[in-house]
Amino acid sequence: MLTLFKNARILSMQNDKIIFGELLVKDNRIAYIGDKYVGKVDKTIDCEGNLLMPGFKNAHAHTAMVFARSASDDLVLYDWLTKVIFPMEAKFQDDDIYHLTKCGILEYLAGGITACADMYFHVPEIVKASEEMGMRNMIVATSLSEPVSLLRERYNTLNKKDSLISYCLGIHAEYTTPKERIIEIANLAKELKAPVALHIGESQNEVNGCVERYGMTPVKFLDSLHFFDYGGIAYHANFFSDEEIEICKKRNIKIVTCPASNAKLASGICPVSKYLENGLTIGVGTDGAGSNNSLDMFKEMYLVSALQKLSHMDAAKMDGFEVLKMATVGSAKILNLVDSDVLAVGKYADIIMIDLKNPSMQPLNNIAKNIVYAGSKDIVKMTMINGKILYYDHKFLINEDVDQIYKKAQEITERLRGE
């Protein structure tokens, strides 16, 4: 299948240049970018001057947690987790996570998100939902009850080449995982030569708790157990000491900032500028809809920049284009998606089209800055994943009944709330 996009502005994200030209997708990969393409094609899409760019990669999410959207607001973190979230999660049954994941993926498609890192339990249900919806998903293991042999098997079977699905080792967090389990996962990571992902350094309380338990801050404690010998992915990372930043550099621990969730739960502000100055890889995530409450990379990008400016009282901090790079290229590195980080020949066709005729995008002073500082899901005209257009002109082009997905999610949510 050959699909040609013509009359397109193209921001490859290899640099900040925008070219005007054509882009050809052959099956699931980009086959041509340049001036006029000469050759036969199966389908032509006239972009009418709109912008093609790589899709956003949501580097930290709990997709199925849409059930908790606006069910648990205006509470402190501990109450939010223990009084609302955990009791609702305890009522999961059958294929709840399968249906809820589908509901969350709809929001990704509508918001130009072409891949996510999904940390949740019931892995087979997430795999099924993602594959049926055409979503690229790096699933992050967190279950405490699953034996190491199962994690090993999943790691080996789900990390297949040219698949929408991949799998990353993980724990929920130091404070929710017994030390014996942390050591088990560290040993598995060493055996598989694999990085491990986790929530870490999210709140000052969490850091204080770890120091009380083990006499060390979380990154230092885990490193002492060889947890990060093959790298790591740190979600939130709001409170890392200078010593811990040095460990991140040494162990190739990548950072995912989730500013909306951290702001709303009053957890803290991730020192993104400092991490960048230290050469760390940074991606952007939404976290779950229970804390955020949306799965919207535009909101995250605005906050990444605005919170750095505000916390340093320096409006020159955190350039908007750097943030756009974090949400695309940086997040792709964290998801190990080197084949869909930028638009280039041979890369996966994980492409979005931005509607530059939306009033919030006019006039065109600086398109990249428009996207970061004035953008919203409203400007997403198309979302293509793996060469398939799954969303176009505010319509889902999937083999699913969208109303049924909403209905099912509503039913499940009401049951989890105990209604």
Q: Which residues bind Zn ion (CB under 5 A)?
A: 287
| Least Å from the CB of residue 65 to Zn ion | 9
Closer residue to Zn ion in complex, CB, 13/119: 119
Question: In the structure encoding, which two tokens stand for residue 295, read together?
Answer: 């799965």
**382: buried, middle or exposed (CB in 10 Å: 19+, 13-18, 0-12)?**
buried
| Least Å from the CB of residue 58 to Zn ion | 11
Closer residue to Zn ion in complex, CB, 118/287: 287
Closer residue to Zn ion in complex, CB, 134/170: 170
Across 237-326, the runs of DSSP E, i.e. the strands, are 253-257, 282-284
**75: buried, middle or exposed (CB in 10 Å: 19+, 13-18, 0-12)?**
middle
| Least Å from the CB of residue 235 to Zn ion | 6
| Least Å from the CB of residue 198 to Zn ion | 9
Amino acid letter, residue 289: A
**Residue 112 Ramachandran class (φ > 0 left, ψ -120 to 50 alpha, else beta):** left
Closer residue to Zn ion in complex, CB, 174/287: 287
| Least Å from the CB of residue 51 to Zn ion | 31
Question: In the structure encoding, which two tokens stand for residue 288, read together?
Answer: 């779950």
| Least Å from the CB of residue 288 to Zn ion | 6
CA 316 to chain centre: 26
Cβ-proximal residues to 210 (8 Å cutoff; 6+ apart), any chain: 174, 175, 216, 217, 218, 221
| Least Å from the CB of residue 77 to Zn ion | 11
Cβ-proximal residues to 287 (8 Å cutoff; 6+ apart), any chain: 60, 61, 62, 235, 258, 260, 261, 262
Tell me how far apart the alpha carbons of residues 258 and 304 are, in angstroms, rounded to a whole number.
8
**Of 155, 146, 142, the residue nearest 199 (C-alpha):** 142
| Least Å from the CB of residue 362 to Zn ion | 36
Half-sphere exposure of 179 (CA within 13 A, CB side): 8
Closer residue to Zn ion in complex, CB, 10/65: 65
Closer residue to Zn ion in complex, CB, 30/126: 126
- With both helix axes pointing from N to C terminus, report the angle between 148-158 and 179-192 in degrees, rounded to the nearest 10: 30
Closer residue to Zn ion in complex, CB, 20/86: 86
Nearest to Zn ion by Cβ — which residue? 287
Tell me how far apart the alpha carbons of residues 323 and 50 are, in angstroms, rounded to a whole number.
21
**Of 91, 1, 110, 94, the residue nearest 45 (C-alpha):** 1
Give me the phi and psi of 181, to 5 degrees please: -70, -40
Q: How far is the first Cα of the chain from the last one, in angstroms, to the nearest whole number?
A: 48
Closer residue to Zn ion in complex, CB, 52/234: 234
For residue 162, the tally of other CB atoms under 10 A from its CB is 9
| Least Å from the CB of residue 304 to Zn ion | 16
DSSP string computed for 184-249: HHHHHHHHHT--EEEEES--HHHHHHHHHHHSS-HHHHHHHTTTTTT-EEEEE--S--HHHHHHHH
| Least Å from the CB of residue 199 to Zn ion | 5
